[in-house]
Structure formats: structure tokens, C-alpha cells
Amino acid sequence: MNLTTFTSLRSASLFASLALALTVGPARGADKAPLSADAFPLFESYIKVTGLVPSVTGKDSSYARRFQAPANGSYGIEALHYAKDVSDSTNVSFDGRALSGAEDYLGAFKATKNEVGTFEMGYKRFRTFYDGTGGFFPLNNRWMTLVNPGLHTDRAKFWAEAKIERPNAPKFEFRYTNEQRTGKKDSTIWGDTDFTGVPAYYGVGASALNPYSSNRKLVPSYINLNERQQNWLGAVKHTVGNTDLDFEIVHNSTKSNDVRWMNRYPGELQLFPRQSSATNPPQIYPPETISNQVSGYDRQMLDSKTTGYTGKFETKCTDALTVFGGVLYSKGSADIGGDRQMTQYMPTAVGLVTAVGGFVGAGGRPPYSYKTDKGETNEKVFSYNLGLKFHPQADLFSTFAVKYEKTDVDGFNSVTYTSNSINQTTGAVTPVIVPTANLADRSEKSWIPEATFRYTGIKDLSLYGNIDYRHSPGSEYGNSTGVTTGGGAGAPVISDDNVKINHAHYKFGANWTLNQAVSLRGEIFYKDHTNGFYDKATPGAGFVLGYQFMGTKLTAIVKAQNNLTFTSRFIQQTGKMDTTIDSTANIQSNDTKNYNFGETIDWSPTKQLFVQANINVVFNTIQTAYPLAGGLGNEVLRNADNNYTSGSFITGFVVDKETDASLQYTFYRAGNYNVPTNASLFYGAGVKEYTVALVVKRKLTSTLFGEAKVGYFDSKNDTTGGNTNFKGPMVYVSLTQAL
């Protein structure tokens, strides 16, 4: 047993002893305070001190990511609330939290004075846990993970807000927020590796023996986050006659400096010289000799400022008709920057040579490395809307509005591409520096009509619906230059397109109360999006991407008895995507089907006992290019099936006048881990997970409560070859004291 495990178990034992003490409680003679008639009343002011101690066997970082709690536990003040009336018209309150380990902190103060306004100021910070793991390839059980897979990101926010709300006077609001995100998180952009067990041959006839590549994207990467966003708001609201007026100014300042660290082909280095293509019979390359390692980072920087002005009105013309509208103008600019430095490891006759953007020969393709010398974007948005609220009778309400929005965005940057030609005979490195300029411009005008209605004129039945449509014609121009083989500048890529974007959303539903025991709810929805980019110079050339989703939501609530309720849910959604490129035939793919069945049972057989059971069964599939790809494509592609079942069970009961207890159980099952060929990656998951816990809550005095929770968790993940499995016991205790 290692020291960490021993410490966790010792802490668990300590908390278990405390939990036992809380359950038994103090001797009645030592409890001088009279017990309240309500066993667990709600306190106006209180402090809650807690401790959580798991003892994890297996992957600590996977436990932390799954339960969003550190594997070494947490403790501190879970909740603090203090409220006091300092006078007949003034109230102050304070809320706090300080959990060490989870790094979850809060401090908030609020003062309210009747017919004057409020002032609020606070700070909070919390931690999100991530798992820096990559991919698993079952052919050779290859598992890729970061050296230190335990990653986390801290999110912090400071705010101050004042509202002045005098009777019969304009209402003013001033707010400032300062938010920050720092730390590390995993990235979905993975690097390549040839350590997959897929053979790679060299020699006579090798091409026939290598029908598909041996490399797969399994190598994890991570992002260093450093982001800050500040917002200032000033607003005034006032009512003049039948008209409500609202005006506000918002200013946003955002700075970010995020770095993605990447690694491709780690542990690989080609032999020099390479094996002969005349080798007969052909031989297999060892995986560590197939490719050359590339590692480095990609830094993206942003410093932006945006100011927006909004004015709104709402006028009640009659009891049945209200007119509303508004105008917005926003202007912003940003300095943008990038710094991507990818180091190539290259074998030579004189030994290993490394160089940023390294390549060999006129046909060599260097790793993409560059640095932005200067970059800027500018954006202007102008929009207005006008609408009606129509309420001709008590059981009919509808709205209709139209919004117009004009957006203009332009940007440019100057970039220096850094490549280095490596002579494998001498080891000499020759820099190849290529300065280029890039620019883009986009203009878009959008018309967005929207209509809603709700009708309750039929007894026990209410109907509702919503329709909105976005039509956005515009133009888009881009001119960019990249690096081609040999490290030189490629030909500029110019796009000059007419843009047509059409998005439609429709939703209709009903709520029907058949009787006191049965209620039904139903809703259907449809989404149709088309994004078209049409080349101005070449008729018929362009790119059109469309996707459609339609679905149904059904709910039935049956109250079989006063103490027994069944809630049944069904959600169905199907969708497809279609793509047209340069007048070619329309290609359909990415068809999705999703069916979700859910059932919840609530039962209270006695006043001292309740039971709730919940289960969800999901059938989901997403079609990829398989089987349309055909041939070898079907050897490396599969559709994504993501079926799973999840559920929970909780029962709570009264032990005695001062003690409540509950038993909790949850489970999750996914069974789509399936690799039918040696070459394909899988998309479905295979997971088995459950948790179980016993919770006891006891009144120790009329102002002091204790709570203890003893549980066990177990997670098995076939998708990662079992490398992220974890299990173990957990103890949680808390004391809540009235203030």
C-alpha cells in the first residue's frame, strides 16, 4: 500500500468515526437546547462545514473528471449564509464557501434598502477537472496518455452591481464583472503514432501489402489557458405613460493567450539511410522507424474591445395590443496574434538534427510553423426589431416580430513562415523565411421573422407554437497564402463568394389534462439549415452544406394513487446532412437517429418513507462515410453507435424524531465498444459504472444538524482498454449550525 492510499484510508477512518458519532448523537442530558417540532427546519442564517474523502483505486484523474472532485478529497465550508435586518427598511446578507482540495470559493455581500435600491459585490472561484488521456488502439492494446494526466482549469469571477430603484423615477443599473479562466485542459486535437500494430512494409511489392496507413491519431495534447474578460454595463429604465423605455451601454474587453501543446509520432525516428525499396521479399518497418517525431506548440492571442448601445421600448396601445421594438449598434476591434513553432526531429549522416519547420529536399513538406507580425479584425453590427403582442382574449396570446441585422467584418494579418531545410548528408540547416499577408472581408444582411402563439380556450388543453426563420444573404472574400513543399510560399488561395444562409426552426406542442390522474404533453420540432457559398467568378462552383433535424417529445404523468406517480418520457430525433461541392452530385451523410425512453416512479407509501426510481434507455447512431466510402475506406471507418442505459434509485425514511436516512444507487451502461477489423478505430463506448451510498442526517441540537454519507463507486471503461478504470469507497460528513 502506498503512502497516498494509506493517508486516504486513515482519513476515511477518521471521518467514519465522526459519522458514527453524528448518528448516535450526544447524550440527551448534555443537550440543553429544546428540540424543534420540525426535525429539520430551514435556518435563515447558517454555516455548513463538510469533508469528502474518497479512496481511489485505479485512475485518479479519471475519477476527478467523472465526479468533478479531487481524488485526494476536499474539506471546508460548503455553505455560509448570514442575513440580518439592520433597520425596518434595510437588509444585508453574506454568502460564502471555501472548499480546499476542490478549490471552490465564494464570498458575496448584498445590501437592500426598500424604495432605494441594492448593492452587491462578490468573488467566486471554482475548479473543473479534466483527464489528459488520448486514444486506445485494440490491435496491440496501445494506450496513450500524458505523463501527468491530471489536468484542471480554474474559473474566477469578481462582480459589483448597484441598482437605484426609487418610486416613480427612472431606474438605474451599473454592473462590472471581471472573469478569468486559467489552467490546463485536454484537447480533442490528437497527434499521430505508428505504434498501432498495423504492419508497414518496405521492399518489392510493398504497396500491395500496405493497403492503409499504420498511423492513427491517438497521442493526447493539452491547452494552457490564460483568459480574462471584463464587462461594464450602464442602464436606465423609465416608464412614460403607457411606454416602458430601456437604454443601456455595454463595453467588453477580452484578452486571451492560449497555448496548445502537441506531439506527433513520439518515440519515432526514421533510419538513415532508409531501407532499400529493392528488398525482396519485403520486410516490415519497426514502428519506431516509420516516421519522425514532431513536437511543439500553437499559441493564439487575442486582445479585443467592443462597445454596444441598445435602446428598447414597449408601448401598451390597448388591453389587447402592445407594440415593442429596439435598436442596437455595436462596434469592436481586436488585435490578433499567433505563434506556432513545431520542431522536426531528423536523422542525418552526422546524427540527429532538430529544427523548427524542418524538412528535407525540394519535395519535403515542413511542419506548419509561423509567427504573426501584426493582425487585426474589425466588426460593426447594426440591428433593429419591431413587433406586436396580441392578446385579443384571455385564452389567446400571440407575438409577431421582425429583426433586421447588418454585420460587417474585416481583418488582416502579416505572417512570417519559418522553415528550415536540413541536409541529411552534412546535417547543415538552411533557414527558409517566407513573409506573407492575408486578409478577409465579410458582409451580411439578415432578416429574421418570428411568431409565437399560446391558446387555452379548449378545456383542459393548451396549445403553443413558435416559428422563426433567418435569411442572411451576403458576401465573403478571403486571400491567404501558405507554405508548400520545399518551404516556399504557395500560390495565394482566393475566395470570393456570394453567401446565402437560411435557417428555419418550427415548434408546436400541447399540454392536455385528461383528469386529475392523467396529464399528457407533446411537442414536435423541425430544424432546417442551409449554408451556401457560391463562387462569383465561376457559375455553379461553390460549397453548400445543409442539415435537417426533426423530432418529437412526449410526456405522460399518471397519478395512479395519491402517493404513487408515474412519469413517462419519450424523445425521438432524426436528422441528416447533405453536401454539394462545385456542382457535383449531392452527397448525404451523417444521418442520425436518436430515441430516448425514460421512466420515473415516485412512491410515498407512508409519511415516513419515500421511494424514487428513474431509468433512461437511449438508442443513438450517427452515420459516417461508412459504408458509402466502399473499398479500403470501409476497413478504417465505422458508424458511431452510442446506445446507453442509465438509472437511479433513492429511498428515504425516518429513523426516529431526530434522524432521517436514505439509500442511493446510480448506474450507467454503454455497450457499443466494437472493433470489427484490425484497421478501424471505434466510435461507440463500452462503459459499466455504478455508485451506491447510505446517507444519515441527524439533529444534534435544535440548531445543529449532522450528516454522514458512506458510499462506493466503480467505473469500468472498455473503450480505453480498462486503463481509466477506478473504484473505491467514499465518506462525506457535514455539520450545519444555525447562526
Name the residue ranges covered by the structural domains of the chain: 115-274
3-state secondary structure of 15: helix
How many angstroms separate the CA atoms of 527 and 519, rounded? 27
| pLDDT at residue 638, rounded to an integer | 76
| pLDDT at residue 38, rounded to an integer | 60
Q: How far is CA 89 from CA 92, 117, 227, 480, in A?
A: 10, 11, 41, 64
Q: Is the pLDDT of residue 30 over 60?
A: no
Interval 460-504: pLDDT, tens:
999 999 999 999 999 999 999 999 999 999 899 999 999 999 999
3-state secondary structure of 719: helix
Q: Which residue has the higher pLDDT, 542 or 377?
A: 377
Chain-centroid distance, C-alpha 457? 41
How many angstroms separate the CA atoms of 733 and 18, rounded? 8
3-state secondary structure of 64: helix
Interior angle at CA 99, CA 93 and CA 100, nearest 5:
145
Indicate the burial class of 276 (C-beta count within 10 angstroms; 0-12, 13-18, 19 or more): exposed
Q: Which residue has the cell 506531439?
A: 263
Q: Which pLDDT band, with edges at 50, 70 and 90, does 609 fall under?
A: very high
Q: Is the pLDDT of residue 649 over 70?
A: yes
Q: Is the pLDDT of residue 2 over 80?
A: no
| pLDDT at residue 23, rounded to an integer | 36
Interval 79-126: pLDDT, tens:
999 999 999 999 999 999 999 999 999 999 999 999 999 999 999 999
Q: Which pLDDT band, with edges at 50, 70 and 90, does 648 fall under?
A: very high
Q: Is the pLDDT of residue 59 over 60?
A: yes
How many angstroms separate the CA atoms of 627 and 620, rounded? 18
| pLDDT at residue 9, rounded to an integer | 38
Q: Which pLDDT band, with edges at 50, 70 and 90, does 6 fall under?
A: very low
The rounded radius of gyration (Å) of the Cα atoms in the chain is 32
Q: Which residues pair with 717 in a beta bridge?
A: 687
Contact of 163 with 117, CB cutoff 8 Å: yes
How many angstroms separate the CA atoms of 595 and 619, rounded? 5
Q: Is the pLDDT of residue 31 over 50?
A: no
Contact of 476 with 442, CB cutoff 8 Å: yes
Q: Which amino acid, 45?
A: S
1 contact partners, CB below 8 Å, separation of at least 6: 9
CB count within 10 Å of CB 325 equals 17
How many angstroms separate the CA atoms of 253 and 386, rounded? 30
Q: Is the pLDDT of residue 358 over 90?
A: yes
In the numeric block, which cell numbers belong to residue 294?
Answer: 514532431
479 contact partners, CB below 8 Å, separation of at least 6: 438, 439, 440, 492, 493, 494
How many angstroms separate the CA atoms of 547 and 531, rounded? 9
13 contact partners, CB below 8 Å, separation of at least 6: none
166 contact partners, CB below 8 Å, separation of at least 6: 115, 116, 117
Q: Which residues pair with 38 in a beta bridge?
A: none
* Average pLDDT value for the chain: 91
Average confidence (pLDDT) over 436-448: 96
How many angstroms separate the CA atoms of 639 and 590, rounded? 9
| pLDDT at residue 4, rounded to an integer | 39
Q: Which residues pair with 90 in a beta bridge?
A: 113
Contact of 586 with 578, CB cutoff 8 Å: yes
| pLDDT at residue 459, rounded to an integer | 92
Q: Is the pLDDT of residue 537 over 80?
A: yes
Q: Is the pLDDT of residue 177 over 60?
A: yes
Indicate the burial class of 607 (C-beta count within 10 angstroms; 0-12, 13-18, 19 or more): exposed
| pLDDT at residue 32, rounded to an integer | 36
Q: Is the pLDDT of residue 3 over 70?
A: no
Contact of 231 with 176, CB cutoff 8 Å: yes
Contact of 71 with 56, CB cutoff 8 Å: yes
In the numeric block, which cell numbers belong to residue 197?
Answer: 500494430
Q: Which residues pair with 331 in a beta bridge?
A: 307, 380
Q: How far is CA 119 from CA 233, 251, 252, 645, in A?
A: 15, 20, 22, 47
How many angstroms separate the CA atoms of 336 and 47, rounded? 47
Interval 665-679: pLDDT, tens:
999 999 888 765 666
In the numeric block, which cell numbers belong to residue 445?
Answer: 444582411
% of the chain with per-residue pLDDT over 90: 81
Q: Is the pLDDT of residue 160 over 90?
A: yes
Q: End-to-end alpha-carbon separation of the chain, Å?
A: 43
Interval 686-735: pLDDT, tens:
999 999 999 999 999 999 999 999 999 999 999 899 999 999 999 999 99
Q: Is the pLDDT of residue 343 over 70?
A: yes
Write out the H or E segment, with its range, that includes residue 544: strand 542-561
Chain-centroid distance, C-alpha 254? 20
In the numeric block, which cell numbers belong to residue 277?
Answer: 525499396
Contact of 48 with 734, CB cutoff 8 Å: yes
196 contact partners, CB below 8 Å, separation of at least 6: 137, 139, 140, 142, 214, 215, 216, 218, 287
pTM of the prediction? Answer: 0.90
How many angstroms separate the CA atoms of 479 and 416, rounded? 16
Chain-centroid distance, C-alpha 212? 34
* Best CA proximity match to 616, nearest among 587, 640, 642, 644: 644
Query: Cis omega (within 30 of 0) on the bond before 676?
Result: no
Interval 508-534: pLDDT, tens:
999 999 999 999 999 999 999 999 999
Q: Is the pLDDT of residue 64 over 80?
A: yes
Chain-centroid distance, C-alpha 250? 26
Contact of 15 with 734, CB cutoff 8 Å: no
Q: Which residues pair with 708 in a beta bridge?
A: 696, 733
Pairing mode of beta strands 57-58, 726-738: antiparallel
Name the CA dihedral angle for 411, 416, 417, 423, rounded to a multiple of 10 degrees. 170
| pLDDT at residue 292, rounded to an integer | 97
3-state secondary structure of 17: helix
| pLDDT at residue 10, rounded to an integer | 36
How many angstroms separate the CA atoms of 130 and 153, rounded? 8
Q: Which of 332-336, 536-540, 544-548, 625-629 is least confident? A: 625-629
Q: Which residue has the higher pLDDT, 573 or 675?
A: 573
| pLDDT at residue 646, rounded to an integer | 97
Helix, strand, coil percentages (3-state) for the chain, rounded to 5, are 5, 70, 25
In the numeric block, which cell numbers belong to residue 671?
Answer: 455497450
Q: Which residue has the higher pLDDT, 52 or 582?
A: 52
Contact of 418 with 353, CB cutoff 8 Å: no
How many angstroms separate the CA atoms of 302 and 231, rounded? 16
Q: Which of 230-239, 366-375, 449-458, 573-582 is least confident? A: 573-582
